[in-house]
Amino acid sequence: MSSHRPSTARARLVNALTEEILQNPESAAFPIASEHQLCRRFGISRVTVRLALSDLENRGLIYRKHGKGTFAHGRSTRIHRHLGILIKSPQAAEHRPIAELIRGVQTVMSSVQSATLLLSTSPEQWRAEKASTLAGVIVVPQDVSIKDLDVLKDRNLNYILFGETDLPGPRITLGQRAAARRMTEQLLELGHRRIALLSGFDICLDTAKRKGVHDALQVAGIDPAQVPEISANGEEGGIFQAAREVLKLHPRPTAVVAFDDSLGAILSFQARRQEGITMPAELSIVSFHDWPFLNYMEPSLTTVRFEFFTAGQHAAEALNLAALTGRTVGDLTFEPTYRAGQTLGLAPDA
C-alpha cells in the first residue's frame, strides 16, 4: 500500500488547493503558501508538493515566479483552455438548434477570453498540440463512434453528448422525448387516430422526438409502424415537397406531429392556402422549438421550446470547471416549455 500513498497525498493536496483557489473572491492573482508551508500543513514530502503544484499549473490555476513564489490566478486572470464542439456533419451546424447551442457556448467562452472550436474530423486525427489546448468537448452524436469517444478518454478529455443517443457518457437532456410523448398524448385525447409525422429538418434531433411519439402510440394500442412518416431529408427545399406529400396521404391525417416549427409552419401554409383546409377543425398540427420568428404567424403553432442556448452555456461552464478541478462531467437536464397555440383541436370525427 505504501506505493499508493504519494499518489493519494498528491491528489489530496491538489483537491484542497483547487477548492481554495476557486472559492477565493480575488479578481487579480494572489500568492499561495510556500512549498515548505504546504509540506508542514499536509504532512507530505516536498517532492509530492511539487508534483501537485505541477498538476495545478497544467490546469491553468497557478503559475510560479522564480525567486518570488507561487501565485494563483484570480477570477479575471485565470487561464481557460479552448472548448471543442465535435460536429462530424457540417450541415448540422447550420440548423437553428445546434446554432443556438453553439451561441450559448460562445457566450461563456468569450467571457473567459477563450475560444470555441468546431471540429469535424475524428479525434484520432487531431494533433496532440490541438488536443492539449482543449478543456473538453461537446459531442453532437451524429456519425460519431464509440472509438471516437475512446480516443477522447485516452487523451483525458472530458466530453458531454448532445441529444438522444445510445453512445455512452454524460449527456445534455432537453426533454424532447418526453415532450413529443406529451404532445402526442394530447392529440390522442382529442380523438385523433389518423396521425402522421413530418420529420427530417434536423436528423440529429429527430430520434428523441420519434421515440416519444412511438411511446404514446404504443400505450394507446397503435402500432407505430402503421403511422406514416414523411421526411424532408435535412434539406430546406425538401420541406415544401414533404408537406405536400403529407397532405396527399390517403386517408388524409387529422393531425400531424411536425418535428420543427419550420416544418409545421410550411405545412400550415400549404394546408390553408393550397388545399383550403381549415385549422384546427380539419387538421391539427403540433411542432417543436418555439422559434421567435414564427411567433406572429396565424394560426399560431402549438409548440414546445427547448433550452438550446442555456444548455450550451451550462455545458461550457461544466467542462471548464471539470478542466480546472480534474472532476468528471455529469448529466445536464433541462425542462421544456409548452406554448399553447391555435393549431390543436378535436379530431373532425371525434
Going by CATH, does the domain composed of 82-174+309-336 fall within 3.40.50.2300?
yes
Give the residue, 216 or 298, on which the prediction is more confident. 216
Which has the closest alpha carbon to 179: 243, 257, 254?
A: 257
> Which pLDDT belongs to residue 5?
42
- Length of the chain as a residue count: 350
Average pLDDT over residues 21-29: 85
Confidence of residue 108 (pLDDT cuts 50, 70, 90): very high
Give the residue, 66 or 155, on which the prediction is more confident. 155
Using a CB cutoff of 8 Å and minimum separation of 24, what contacts does 245-249 make? Answer: 246/196, 246/198, 247/271, 247/274, 247/275, 247/277, 249/196
Average pLDDT over residues 264-281: 94
**Residue 25: is the preceding peptide bond cis (ω within 30°)?**
no
3-state DSSP percent of the chain in helix, strand and coil, to 5: 45, 15, 40
Res. 216: pLDDT tops 80:
yes
> Which pLDDT belongs to residue 291?
87
pLDDT tens digits, one per residue of 184-204? 999 999 999 999 999 987 777
Residues of the chain with CATH 3.40.50.2300: 82-174+309-336, 176-305
Could you please state the CATH topology (level 3) that the domain comprising 2-72 is classified under. Arc Repressor Mutant, subunit A (1.10.10)
Distance in angstroms between the alpha carbons of the first and the last residue of the chain: 73
Hey, what's the cell of 239? 420541406
Average pLDDT over residues 221-235: 90
Task: Give dist(CA 53, CA 64) in Å, integer.
Answer: 9
Residue found under cell 453528448: 161
Alpha-helical segments (H) within the chain: 5-23, 35-42, 46-58, 96-111, 128-131, 146-154, 176-189, 203-219, 238-247, 261-269, 308-325
Average pLDDT over residues 240-260: 95
Residues of the chain with CATH 1.10.10.10: 2-72
> Which pLDDT belongs to residue 234?
65
pLDDT tens digits, one per residue of 109-156? 998 889 999 999 999 999 988 898 999 999 999 899 999 999 999 999
Average pLDDT over residues 278-285: 96
Going by CATH, does the domain composed of 176-305 fall within 1.10.287.130?
no
pLDDT tens digits, one per residue of 1-17? 333 444 588 888 988 88
The pLDDT mean for the chain works out to 90
Which has the closest alpha carbon to 138: 104, 168, 115, 161?
A: 161
